[in-house]
A and B are shown apart, each in its own frame.
Chain A
Amino acid sequence: QLQLQESGPGLVKPSETLSLTCTVSGGSISSSSYYWGWIRQPPGKGLEWIGSIYYSGSTYYNPSLKSRVTISVDTSKNQFSLKLSSVTAADTAVYYCASDDYYDSDNCAFDIWGQGTMVTVSS
């Protein structure tokens, strides 16, 4: 049973870089049918896709965040990570990692989610 768990600081200062890691258990991050994604949800608001990565290192980012986002993968640790630079209060949110399952050649769904981790941007 695939499980994902986010980890990282819950408080980040404005203008600094938010860093989170997602540890995948119960399966290999090198699975050919999966991308691995980050999604966030500001308090009281909807879901926003941040970006996804393939085990080979190919990345796709939300155009609205692309200039500040870096997603990387460490296959030896079965982990993938998120870095979001120059954060402001608007980046305060629950951050989720999720498996991005390409169940056919064209379509995909986030089938397994981590529990989420709250990150507050404040001095």
Chain B
Amino acid sequence: SSELTQDPAVSVALGQTVRITCQGDSLRSYYASWYQQKPGQAPVLVIYGKNNRPSGIPDRFSGSSSGNTASLTITGAQAEDEADYYCNSRDSSGNHLKVFGGGTKLTVL
């Protein structure tokens, strides 16, 4: 199975832009999806596909991909964006196996 690698922690000043990245071989074939998880809560899907936001997700969240790297960008980070962020995709094997990245703790300063 393949792996997805994320930086363990990232920080951003309030109102600034931050990019959270996810690397893995499977991302050459499949899109990443991104999840936000706040303490004590279930993860919430924030980005999927090329750059799609589920209903209710603010447009300051966006996604992109290049080669084996997917990125989640928050433009104008808010205090409520402080959370853990996980990427996820199908495994590079071509089967319906799934894999999660290790997660990135985002701190908004």
A interface residues with partner B (beta carbon < 8 Å): 35, 37, 39, 46-49, 52, 60, 62-64, 96, 100, 103-104, 106-111, 113-116
Contact = CB atoms under 8 A, between A and B. Distances in A.
B43 interface: yes
Contacts of B37: 47
Given A108-B90, A110-B35, A113-B42, A48 B49 contact: no
Contacts of B49: 103-104, 107, 109
13 contacts: A46-B86, A47-B100, A47-B103, A49-B88, A49-B97, A62-B97, A103-B49, A106-B90, A107-B48, A108-B90, A109-B33, A110-B35, A114-B42
Which 8 pairs of residues, A with B, have the shortest CB-CB distance? A109-B33, A109-B48, A49-B98, A60-B96, A113-B42, A46-B103, A47-B100, A107-B31
A46 B22 CA distance: 14
A103 B31 CA distance: 11
Interface of B: 1, 29-31, 33, 35, 37, 42-45, 48-49, 52, 54, 86, 88-90, 95-103
Contacts of B1: 62-64
A39 B35 CA distance: 13
A110 B96 contact: no
A103 B42 CA distance: 21
B42 A47 contact: no
A49 B45 contact: no
Contacts of B45: 109-111
Given A47-B43, A115-B42, A106 B30 contact: yes
Given A96-B43, A108-B33, A110-B33, 15 more contacts: A46-B86, A46-B102, A47-B35, A47-B37, A47-B88, A49-B97, A62-B97, A64-B1, A103-B49, A107-B90, A108-B98, A109-B33, A110-B35, A113-B42, A115-B42
Contacts of A107: 30-31, 48-49, 89-90
Contacts of B30: 106-107
A52 B42 contact: no
Which of A46, A60, A96, A113 gathers most chain B CB within 10 Å?
A: A46
Nearest to A47: B100
